[in-house]
Amino acid sequence: MTSLPKEGIAWPELQLQLQDAGKHDADWRGGRVPMFIHYAGDDVLEVAKQAYLMYFSENGLGLRAFGSLARFESDVVRMALTLMHGDDATRGAMTTGGTESIFLAVKAARDQAKQRRPGMGTPQIVMASSAHPAFDKAAHFMGLQVVRTPLRADFTADPAAIAAAITGDTVMVVGSVPAFPHGVVDPITEIAAAAAAHGVWMHVDACVGGYIAPFAKKLGADIPDWDFAVPGVTSISADLHKYGYTAKGASTLLFRDEESFAGMGWYFDGWPRGQYFTHTLVGTRAGGAIAAAWAVMNYLGEAGYRRITQRVLDTRRALQAGTAKLGLPTFGDPQLSILAYGSAGIDTAAVGARMTARGWVVGHVTEPPGFHHMLNLTHEPVAGRYLDDLATCIAETPPPQRGATVTARY
């Protein structure tokens, strides 16, 4: 068993050990990892790292002490709200990631419904089967139920099915931009209308799309309106540590108005230390993550995000064309950076195992069985190599046995 060393170990030795420990990790720089990483170039990484280190010790819990962080957070939130068609009434805050943003949106929606509808039963979230498990996690932790509705043939959420599932106990309806499994954008306008008709909170999970969809749309992608431009949208989660390209530990949670925003906060004074208030689930927050988000957003600006988005979209199109040629058509019509593809005639689990043996970390989707990619610039130079290896692995693999299934791990 490992115990704390009796004496400390010198940094040069530890540095070597740290380098050595990563030797067998997947080669994300070489484009071998289908998700987890959002790389936009060494220059962007350097800005994020330098900014992070400059505010490494400062704590986002203590905005009273660190006016710098308060300013960075306020600027980040304003930039986000402008991008997502906010107005003078819209509000928001930074959190440490998509899951935290979703937890806090669920908490705010639940508390508002409980206040407005005294005597209601177990609060429910209604969402499509493709919505992220962070909602189920939040529901499990906070005592809500989740009702998942079937998808339409194009893998988008079905507004009619969502409308039909809303009950007097529904406290939140969810739409995704895009949903993680197939990368398709849900019809937010229609879902928001169904929510509004029942007086229910509508959350848009743009954890993946928040910082890529606005630029993709300007570049001509066919993306329906999804943000505060849509009446009935109450809150939006949008992750900076995904397509904002900043340091991990950064997301934004945005609200239609002051009242809904207030539900994100939590106040307590029943202990000997007086008042305790946070907007976040966590207490201490890495000042570095806040500073890095501010620095990267200002470093890239609109032009930088557009340039990177164009390259990510081109890579997705190249992969779509290449995989279709191999007999693996894309599921649905993804407009952003995620794509899933497969075919009943190809044993994707067995092909995936061969790809793994060739050094690729393989992402799978289970319904229908296929492959899954969330793209970034590391994939751009290796798309051709990936397709060549995929063609070889398909040629080496016998057709699927009847009833074969795929297990997809995150």
Ligand X SMILES: Cc1ncc(COP(=O)(O)O)c(C=O)c1O
Q: Which residues bind ligand X (CB under 6 A)?
A: 97-99, 132, 134, 176, 180, 205, 207-208, 239
Minimum distance, C-beta of residue 208 to ligand X, in the bound complex (Å): 5
* DSSP helix/strand/coil, 98: helix
Shortest distance, position 393 Cβ to ligand X, whole Å: 26
Nearest CB to ligand X, comparing residues 108 and 134 = 134
Fill in the amino acid letter for 409. R
Q: Considering beta carbons, is residue 209 or 322 the nearer one to ligand X?
A: 209
Biggest CA–CA distance in the chain, Å, is: 70
| Neighbouring C-alpha atoms within 13 Å toward the C-beta of 62 | 8
2 C-beta neighbours (distance < 10 Å), count: 4
Minimal distance, residue 132 CB to ligand X, in Å: 4
User: For 391, what's the count of Cα atoms within 13 Å in the CB-facing half-sphere?
Assistant: 12
From residue 203, alpha-carbon distances to 119, 133, 152, 254 in Å are 23, 14, 20, 10
Residue 286 or 350 having the CB closest to ligand X:
286
Distance CA 382, CA 390 (A): 12
CA 180/CA 131 separation, integer angstroms: 7
Least gap, CB of 325 to ligand X (angstroms): 28
In whole angstroms, what is the distance from residue 45 CA to residue 36 CA?
15
To ligand X, the closest distance from the beta carbon of 398 in angstroms equals: 33
C-beta of 335: minimal distance to ligand X in Å? 15
Smallest distance from ligand X to CB 128, Å: 11
CB-based contact 397:347 (threshold 8 Å): yes
- CB-wise, 312 or 351, nearer to ligand X? 312
| Dihedral pair phi/psi, residue 170, rounded to 5° | -75, 125
Nearer to ligand X, 223 or 390 (CB): 223
Helix (H) or strand (E) holding 245: none
Nearer to ligand X, 300 or 338 (CB): 338
* Cβ-based nearer residue to ligand X, 134 or 213: 134
Q: Which residues pair with 172 in a beta bridge?
A: 125, 201
Considering the complex, state which of residue 66 and residue 226 has its C-beta at the smaller distance from ligand X.
226
| Nearest approach, Cβ of residue 180 and ligand X (Å) | 4
Which residue has the CB atom at the shortest distance from ligand X? 98
Q: How far is the CB of 99 from ligand X (least distance, A)?
A: 3
State in angstroms the smallest separation of the CB of 210 from ligand X: 10
**Cα–chain center distance at 238:** 7
Distance, CA of 321 to chain centre: 25
CB of 253 to ligand X, least distance (A): 12
Name the residue among 379, 339, 341, 377 with its Cα closest to residue 360.
379
Name the residue nearer to ligand X (CB basis): 176 or 235: 176
Q: Which is nearer to ligand X, 40 or 393 (CB)?
A: 40
Which amino acid makes up residue 187?
A: P
Mention every residue, 6+ apart, whose C-beta is less than 8 A from residue 35. Answer: 363, 372, 373, 374
- Alpha-carbon dihedral of residues 51, 30, 362, 383, nearest 10 degrees? 110
| 3 state DSSP class of 17 | helix
Q: Which is nearer to ligand X, 169 or 333 (CB)?
A: 333
- Give the residue ranges of DSSP H helices in 270-377: 287-325, 348-357
Helices (H), 98-249: 98-116, 134-142, 159-165, 188-197, 213-218
